[in-house]
Every structure is written in structure tokens, then in C-alpha cells.
Structure 1
């Protein structure tokens, strides 16, 4: 039987730097933003992340998009 996938949700995950360790390496944190529209363009997701973290004291290191799907027979 064939497996059917259906879009469940999309999450934007941002990585940002909160400071430095005593050794001088960057101290990184992540934050997830759930409930993105699954049809949102990648560029729009990235633009929202950069706009949000442009307002923060912490520099943005990376943006990831997680598309989640349910699989069923």
C-alpha cells in the first residue's frame, strides 16, 4: 500500500548568539516559532526572522524552516 503524506505544520527555528563562554566561543540559543503557513515562501520566512531579530539585542546566526508531515497508509 502506498504511503500518503499530508502537511501538518511548519515551524521557523532561529539560532541567535546570547554572549560568549569564558573560553571565548559563542553561546548560542534557539527559539521556535510554530504555526507558520505551510505555503509561506522561504524568502518571507527568512525576512520575518531578520526583521524580528533586528529589533533584539542578540545577533541572528541562522534561520531554519521545519516542515512537518503526517504519514499514513
Structure 2
């Protein structure tokens, strides 16, 4: 069976360090920011994440983009 996919939305996921635990290992937190335009360029998404988290006291450690697609049986 053939399947077609349609881009639905994109989510920006950022990981940042909030401190160190008692052993000295980094304590990380993650936040998801939904409603990213599917057509937005990866560079633009990355730049926005760095700009937003540059305003905080916590350093940004990772930026991820999760693209979501709707899958459906293709009509042949």
C-alpha cells in the first residue's frame, strides 16, 4: 500500500543547563515551543532559539526541531 505524507507542523525543542548537581554533573531542562512554521528555514529556527535563550541566565546546550507529518493511504 502506498502512503502519502503531508507536513503538519514543527516544534522547536531547546535544552538548557540550570546548574550542577552535587556530583558536579550538569542539570539540564528541556522546553518545547510549538507552532513553528513548517516552511521556516532551519537556520532561522536555530537563530531564534539562540536569540530567545540569549536573554536568559541559563546557557543553551542543544537545539532540536521536530517536524510532524500526517500519513495517509495514497489513492492510486
TM-score by length of 2: 0.94
| Structure 1, unpaired ranges of 5+ | none
Q: Work out whether 1:5 is the aligned partner of 2:8.
A: no
**Match for residue 26 of structure 2?**
26
Q: CA deviation at 1:20?
A: 0.4
Gaps of 5+ in 2: none
> Residue 42 of structure 1 corresponds to which residue in structure 2?
42
Q: Who is 1:56 aligned against?
A: 56
Distance in 2 of aligned mates of 1:25 and 1:11: 28
Task: Provide runs of 4+ in structure 1 moved above 6 Å.
Answer: none
Three-state SS of the structure 1 residue aligned to 2:38 is coil
